[in-house]
Amino acid sequence: MSTPLLIIAAGGTGGHMFPAQALAEAMLAKGWRVKLTTDARGARYTSGFPDAVQVEVLPSATFARGGLLAKPFVPLKILRGVFAAKAKFRKDRPAVVVGFGGYPSIPAVGAAWLLGLPRAIHEQNGVLGRVNQLFARRVDVVACGTWPTELPRGVEAKPTGNPVRGAILDQVAAPYPASDTGPLNVLLLGGSQGARILSDKIPAGLAALDPELRAHLHVSHQARPEDLDRVRDAYSAAGIEATVETFFHDVPTRLAASHLVIARAGASTVADISVIGRPSILVPLASAIRDEQTANARALVDAKAAV
């Protein structure tokens, strides 16, 4: 009997890739083979995946990016990805295909639908994203990380929670750090893309604190590349010790060491915060059409674990 193959389709942002990584880790432990299909953009977030996961890059595209001249080619690029996935699945037939949303997941989930393969989608947020809305009626199971989740009429789903990576689970027992013997650690996470409003507002807000308190702060701030210098300069001018980077590869340990987290309310971020257990100030993305980040944050706010 051959080893069953799981195809995971995800990409775009860490919010899709981190729970996908958690599923990959769990299924490898059960003895499955695991392949990840994504696009070139999603491939940037694969460094944390176990080495046993084979990464396959498929063509995909979105109408949300590129200029007017690029939009007519979006369907053609997606179709190329779907047919490439079909060819791969015929050579190495997966037991199941699981999509985690984002346009890079379209080729694999679309190919699984056309071939009649067992398939599922996982929605991390409290509102289905566009791609998951597209496939909600075309899969065998819709799994939801945030519950309740707003669903299209007639679609049933199973609340599963958001899978978290092993590196997060390793910090579950980490005690809340003492605040009287060392620095007060503040962690700022703007999602894997960074959040400009946090870079605009938080350094000035912390600079307004009492000088004695500022002297005890250590800030870990995730910022966009174009904001790095000005954010570093703002903390330096305020006399605040700060580490400012575009991406933290050691988020689990920084999260465990933090006294306060200030972050976007992305589903994976909310899950990580709740698993490790740190107080947080959550700033939902105001421009989100479906306001899914407010839905994500609701459980922590209701539990009085966040504002």
Q: What is the pLDDT of residue 286?
A: 85
Q: What's the chain's average pLDDT?
A: 92
3-state SS assignment for residue 51? coil
Q: What is the pLDDT of residues 87-125, one digit of tens each?
A: 999 999 999 999 999 889 999 999 999 999 999 999 999
Confidence at residue 1, expressed as pLDDT on a 0 to 100 scale: 57
Q: Which of 163, 193, 213 is the last residue before a domain boundary?
A: 163
190 shares a domain with 158:
no
More reliable by pLDDT, 68 or 17: 17
Which helix or strand (DSSP H or E) is residue 101 part of? Answer: none
Say yes or no: 213 and 287 in one domain: yes
Which range has the top average pLDDT, 42-51, 71-80, 179-188, 208-217? 208-217
Torsion, Cα of 265, 22, 129, 37 (10° steps): 140
40-71 pLDDT per residue, tens: 777 777 888 999 999 999 888 776 656 666 67
The DSSP code for 161 is -
Query: What domain count does the chain have?
Result: 2
In this prediction, residues 192-218 reach a mean pLDDT of: 91
Sign of the torsion formed by the C-alpha atoms of 161, 163, 166 and 168: negative
* CA–CA dist 129, 201 (Å, integer): 28
> What's the mean pLDDT in 219-247?
96
Q: Are residues 247 and 142 in the same domain?
A: no
Structure tokens at 6: 């799981």
Question: Range with the lowest mean pLDDT among 45-49, 261-265, 292-296?
Answer: 45-49
Same domain, 196 and 140: no
* Pair 150, 12 in one domain: yes
CA dihedral over 81, 52, 48, 158, signed as positive or negative: positive
> Is 168 part of a structural domain of the chain?
no
The 10s digit of each residue's pLDDT in 133-173 is: 999 999 999 999 998 898 999 999 999 999 999 999 999 99
Please indicate, yes or no, if residue 142 is contained in any of the structural domains. Answer: yes
By residue range, what is the domain housing residue 250? 184-302
pLDDT number for residue 69: 63
Q: What percent of the chain has pLDDT over 90?
A: 75
Same domain, 282 and 225: yes
What is the pLDDT at residue 35? 97
Of 113, 129, 163, which marks where a domain is finished?
163
Do 157 and 246 belong to one domain?
no
Helix (H, G, I), strand (E, B) or coil at 218: strand
Rounded Cα–Cα distance for residues 213 and 69 (Å): 53
Q: In this predicted structure, what is the pLDDT of residue 193? A: 65
Measured distance CA(304)–CA(307) in Å, rounded: 7
207 in the same domain as 146: no
Token pair of 267, please?
A: 């589903």
Please check the confidence at residue 24 and state whether its pLDDT lies above 70. Answer: yes
Q: Are residues 154 and 196 in the same domain?
A: no
Residue 175 lies in a domain: no
Domain membership flag for residue 281? yes
* 53 plus 158 within the same structural domain: yes
Question: The domain spanning residue 159 has which CATH number?
Answer: 3.40.50.2000
Average pLDDT over residues 171-199: 88
Q: Which of 22, 274, 277 is nearest to 173 (CA)?
A: 277
Residue 24, burial from CB neighbour count under 10 angstroms (0-12, 13-18, 19+): buried
